[in-house]
Structure 1
Amino acid sequence: MAGKGILHFDGASKGNPGKAGAGAVLMTEDGRVVSRIHEGLGVATNNVAEYRALTLGLKQAIDHGFESIKVYGDSQLVTDQVNGVWQTKNQNMKELCNEVRQLKENVDSFEISHVRRPTKRTLEADRQANNGIKLESGAVSEERGDI
């Protein structure tokens, strides 16, 4: 599926650190849902869950052949670190940020923006992240969308 995609991501952690999940919603430019996906992370911090959600969604976008992707998330830390606005000092965060930067090299156009909660799409990504909490660590569940 070549073309432009939209990705909403969110991470959740019950406790910080605590049982965590990652969630993402991938859509076409006109808003049709391609995929809703979530992953169980075991015990992790909320920041790790946010990065893992972004990584999960980006891999989906690449697998679906999107050439251009606009990404939206409610984690200002993640969006600003990926955009290079904030430094990444923590080694684990640095590695997660570098993984995202490597993944975005697989698309022609990549744009990431911070959005405030709640919006319809951030709520759906949040729902996916909370579903991820219920999964075992490393388990991934995907629901195909409208197309």
Structure 2
Amino acid sequence: MWYGYFDGCSKGNPGDSGIGGILIDENGEIVEKISKYIGVHTNNEAEYMALLELLNSAYKHNVKEILIHGDSQLVIEQITGNWKLKQESLRPYYQQCRDMLFYVHANFKWIPREQNKQADKLSNEALKQTSDFCNYHRGVFDISNLERITSDIYIAHGTEDYAVDLLHNVCTCPAFKYYEGDCKHLVAAKKLKETEKDIKELFPA
């Protein structure tokens, strides 16, 4: 019998998310550790994606039978058919996991979080892999890409558009949540507002 543990985390729910997992063989040896950044998702989506990654790992190692542990009661109860799937947004992740069960015979067991510390640690460590992503969002932002909507609201245009609210000092970009209030769009908007103020002082209407 092989054993597996999975966990997913979301910083913001939805927010930057990571997945963690451990695959253990019949001899109690750890065959694979999973720790991946998966972008912006909800906590439940991250849990399902962690389970899917673990099932893929089991399939890759030709595992025929495995007991999988997780601390997400929702995922465990839904994947075993005890609970109905009510959130349609979770259906694609649920279905992919169900499809994998045609290839990997798995049983599932819910465990409390304190018994799932290794997978939890791996999922949180995955967030550290976002350094390139977050450095991109924390970098210099061209103020010419800002569109002023009101005196305090701007839209930061780019690959994706984000709303910047200077009155409440918030931004809708993922980096704002990750760094708890620091992102390049806010910095650029503040700079632009200061520039506009200086222009008005120099050239009053």
Say which one has the larger Rg: 2
CA-based RMSD: 1.1
- Whose strand proportion is higher, 1 or 2? 1
Q: CA deviation at 1:74?
A: 0.1
Q: SS at the partner of 2:32? A: strand
1:20 paired with 2:17, answer yes
Q: 1:123 aligns with which of 117, 124, 131?
A: 117
Larger RCO: Structure 1 or Structure 2 (Cα < 8 Å, ≥ 6 residues apart)? Answer: 1
Q: Structure 1 vs Structure 2: percent identity of aligned residues?
A: 36
Q: Is the contact between residue 13 and residue 133 of structure 1 (CA under 8 Å) also seen in structure 2? A: no
Q: 2:71 aligns with which of 71, 74, 86?
A: 74
Q: Which runs of 5+ in 2 are unaligned?
A: 131-205
- Whose helix proportion is higher, 1 or 2? 2
Partner of residue 109, structure 2? 113
Q: 1:53 aligns with which of 36, 50, 53?
A: 50
Q: Which runs of 5+ in 1 are unaligned?
A: 137-147
Structure 1 stretches of 4+ with a deviation exceeding 2 A read none
- Provide the TM-score with structure 1 as the length reference: 0.84
Match for 1:92: what amino acid? S
Q: CA deviation at 1:31?
A: 1.8
Partner of residue 9, structure 1? 6
For 1:117 and 1:110, how far apart are their aligned partners in 2? Answer: 20
Question: How many correspondences in the alignment?
Answer: 130
For 1:117 and 1:30, how far apart are their aligned partners in 2? Answer: 24
Match for 1:44: what amino acid? H
